[in-house]
A = this chain, B = another copy of it.
Amino acid sequence: MPTYPFLTDLVRALPATVPFVGPEALQRMRGRPFRARLGANESVFGPSPKSIAAMEAAAASAFMYGDPENFELRAAIAKHHGVSIENVAVGEGIDGLLGLAVKVAVAPGEVVVTSDGAYPTFNYHVAVGGGRLVKVPFRDDKEDLGAVLDAGRAENAKILYVSNPNNPMGSWWSAFEIEGMISALPPTVLFCLDEAYCDTAPPAAVPDIDISNPRVLRFRTFSKAYGLAGARVGYALGEAGLISIFDKIRNHYGMSRSGQIGALAALADQDYLAETVGRIAAGRDRLAQIARENGLAPLPSATNFVTMDCGRDGTYATRVLDEIIARDVFVRMPGVAPLNRCIRVTVGTPDDLDVFAEVLPEALRAAQG
């Protein structure tokens, strides 16, 4: 008899791989800390001071469960977007909500379409749900909306996944183009639009919210521009009946009380968000300049990171990455060709970027030598 005779066939067949190795694990392997943490697309500018103060004040009340309905936070998010509270689901980051979306629509063996090199954690959730992933290539470093649609039709897909702006390339489509895709969706598909980076994008890249479409879910987060990655607060916007389906399957007590309170205060401080977005834009410019000064080609970015074309293949870019990490700067790179000719660097503080500017030429010399 096998050691774990109770395992389902699905779980038995899953690989042991994880979506990402975290910077803490890298530090443990290396035996020393990073000088700059520029690989996880966090906001080094932190959350709003008002959010910090709210979380500090909430620490002593951590003995109480958070409201399982996330009522106050959902009400505030709804007001912010001009929709109703029934149009908002809150979850443990976009990651948690993507897992739920897969559960909603994908039975084992059913097809999900994404782009080859797009968000690995989404792919992970599809595998956990037993779905079959169909991946279409990027085109010109952008997710190819037409190819996603075509594959969705050809494969009778249950979910189409698009991120806009895109991680890991930083590219984006206009609202017009995304709306065009939505209007062309096959009638039986659920469209998951991951807008984790929309707060740092040009307004023209973010479609108006048509909350009446029962086949579109838009995913947002407090982890990026709002600076609350550690609080694990994401949300989905959608038609009320669609959003209510999350209540059938979610972990109702999955949100921390501190996260609910911190996100509520962060959302209320739009001035700080605007200030952060300005600092991120300045950081992107500086990163692009550092890239160019070192002979790398920075890709245009609507996110809080800059992806830099190292000009050769994935082997070379991996060498560059390894040499940067060896110099105690945490960065990442896309995992799939041809995107993996690049490295991806998150915006840091001016001091962080000084460190990167110091380290990059050394790393390039070492990678070339």
Taking beta carbons and an 8 Å cutoff, which residues of A are in contact with B? 1, 3-11, 14-16, 18-20, 22, 24-25, 28, 37, 40, 42-47, 51-53, 55-56, 58-69, 71, 92-93, 95-96, 99, 103-107, 121, 128, 158-159, 187-190, 214-215, 223, 227-232, 241-242, 244-245, 247-249, 251-259, 262
Contacts and interface: CB of A to CB of B under 8 A. Distances in A.
Contacts of A58: 230
A230 B25 contact: no
User: How many copies of this kind of chain does the complex include?
Assistant: 2
A368 B45 CA distance: 61
B92 A63 contact: no
Contact of A254 (B5, B9, B56, B232): B232
A103 B8 CA distance: 8
Contact of A25 (B15, B40, B59, B71): B71
A214 B14 CA distance: 19
Contacts of A11: 103-105, 245, 248-249
A20 B188 CA distance: 33
Contact of A56 (B59, B71, B99): B59
A46 to B, nearest CB: 5
A70 to B, nearest CB: 10
A262 B62 contact: yes
A214 B244 CA distance: 38
A5 B187 contact: yes
A52 B59 contact: yes
A192 B350 CA distance: 51
Contacts of A262: 59, 62
